[in-house]
Amino acid sequence: MKILFLALSLLALLNPAKSDETLRLGGYLESSINYFDGKNEVTSSNALFRLEGNYDIKNKGKIESHLLYHYDMKPLDPFHTFKDKSIYSKIINNYYQEMYDGLEIEERIVADRLLEIYSSGYFDHLSYSSFYPKETIVLDRALIKLYYDSFDITFGKQQIAWGTGYAFNPTDVWNIKDPTAPDASKIGVLAVNLAFFFGDNSSLQIITSPGSDFDHWKYGARIKSTAGRFEYSFSGIRDKTDDGELLGIPEKFQIGADLTGEIFNEIGYRFEGAFLNPRYHGMAATDTDSSYVQFTTGFDYTFGNGLYFLTEYYYNGLGEKRNSDYDIRSFLRLTGGEMSGLAENYAAFAVSYTLKNDYILSIVSVCNIDDNSAVFVPEIEYSFDENISVKLGADIFAGSSERSEFGGIFNSISLAVTGFF
């Protein structure tokens, strides 16, 4: 890492760009601490360093690379945020029980011994120990973009953001979105992206993202334009990935549309919907027996005093109406990004307001309408300096701890300091 940073810095200093070329280096460092209000009162902390390099060649193209370096001190157990009798714990326990039941006697003895070691508390400390590796490096963006008269073409790892929804983006198959963190940066996708431009603000995007063979390449196209005070787009996707193979998610075809604009007295309106047709094993491409719809629609408005309010409804045709039907398949669909919640119907709210001296107060909430649970994410941000911000936030969960999607998760608070350079 040190050698890489040094090399990039030297590159900037020793090899100044020509007059029609610019080289910019920047990024940020973020350090955060989290406290989970569980029975073990777990804390975690992490540091994130992001180095952003951008080399512009005027009117011809650019080369861009963003490197993320994570240092995480957190529990080894990925399910440590779930309460013992939560829906998630039941789903995972049932899954492990099924696996256990399928083992031979000798295998069960080994599994029991492993479980005994795991339950001893040894692993509670292992991931915090200096013996345990905690560093990961991610190349978030690594792209070359070429400009032509009527189109741009981008090769490499790049951010792709589709859709107009705020908390939910059913048309965006390129990213997995957390509805409780709608403004979070999206991790880059390795792809070739060809964008044609018509008029001032109309475009056609054709994207393909590679996989293990051509059958596992993802293909998509999106056409976007404006009509009066509305912006709209239509998209089509053929989605079959290696991630899907691992999680048991089938190939699917998707047709999507989105719209954003204003209605009545300048109230913002947005809609984003997708029709999806998965092709399970043995099905023909024309079979539509398993097809479903996902859509989100909502409004936002800023009041005269600067208070911003947003509300969205999300219908998830792949979700379960009854909480008793949440199972491992639902869990994998959620973690695999096929849907943004376990249930069928959701409402999301967001409020933000700038207080005196630029303290920014915001609250995001996602409510599961079917099982009556919700998560509230309040946050207050203060700009300590032009380039340093401090954020104090919390995740507060409400609902039945044993029978709802959100009620079975421990509350947490976090403090994050970010410095930009």
Partner 1 sequence: MKTCVIMICGFVISCAAISVDEILDKSEANDNFSTMVSVNTEEVYRADGTVRTSVMKAYAKNGNEKMLMEYTEPKRIQGMKILMLNDGDDIWFYSNRTNRVRKIASHQKKQSANNSDFSYDDMSMSDNRKDYSYSLTGEEEKDGKDCYKIEFKANEEDQSYSRFFMWIDRSNYLACAAEFYDENDNLWKSLTVRDIKKVHEYWTAGEVEMRDILKDSRTVIRSTNVEYDKELPDDMFTERYLKR
Closest CA to 169 of 308, 341, 43, 303: 341
> Using an 8 Å Cβ cutoff, are 99 and 115 in contact?
no
SS3 85: coil
Beta carbon of residue 31, minimum distance to partner 1 (angstroms, whole number): 16
Euclidean distance between CA atoms 318 and 256, whole angstroms: 16
Nearest to 348 by CA among 282, 300, 276, 420: 300
Does residue 421 interact with partner 1 by CB under 8 A? yes
Cα gap 198→201, rounded to integer Å:
7
**Stretch of residues binding partner 1 (CB under 8 A), selected from 4-12, 13-21, 311-319, 350-358:** 350-358
The nearest distance, CB 360 to partner 1, in angstroms, is 8
Cα 369-373-377 angle, rounded to 5 deg: 110
Which of 15, 19, 130, 305 is close enough to bind partner 1 by CB under 8 A? 305
Task: With contacts defined by CB under 8 A, name the span among 33-41, 245-253, 260-268, 335-343 that binds partner 1.
Answer: 260-268
- Annotate each residue in 367-396 with x if it binds partner 1 (CB under 8 A) or - if it does not, as one string: ----------------x--xx-x-------
- In degrees rounded to 5, what are phi and psi of residue 312? -140, 145
| 3-class secondary structure, 322 | coil
In DSSP terms, 351 is beta-bridged to 309, 363
Stretch that binds partner 1, among 20-28, 40-48, 72-80, 84-92 (CB under 8 A): 20-28
For partner 1, the closer CB: 160 or 249: 160
Nearer to partner 1 by C-beta: 261 or 336?
261
For the segment 113-172, give every residue that binds partner 1 (CB under 8 A).
Answer: 145, 147, 152, 158-159, 161
Q: To which residue do tokens 């859509």 refer?
A: 295
For 256-279, letters b (16+ CB in 10 Å) and e give bbbbbbeeeeeebbbbbbbbbbbb
Contact of 52 with 26, CB cutoff 8 Å: yes
One of 197, 253, 275, 313 touching partner 1 (CB under 8 A): 197
The DSSP bridge pattern shows strands 135-147 and 61-73 to be antiparallel
Cβ closest to partner 1, residue 156 vs residue 407:
156
Task: Identify residues 48-107 at the interface with partner 1 (CB under 8 A).
Answer: 56, 62
Residues that bind partner 1 (CB under 8 A): 24, 26, 28, 56, 62, 145, 147, 152, 158-159, 161, 183, 185-186, 195, 197, 200-201, 203, 229, 231, 260-262, 265-268, 300-306, 308, 354, 356-358, 383, 386-387, 389, 420-421
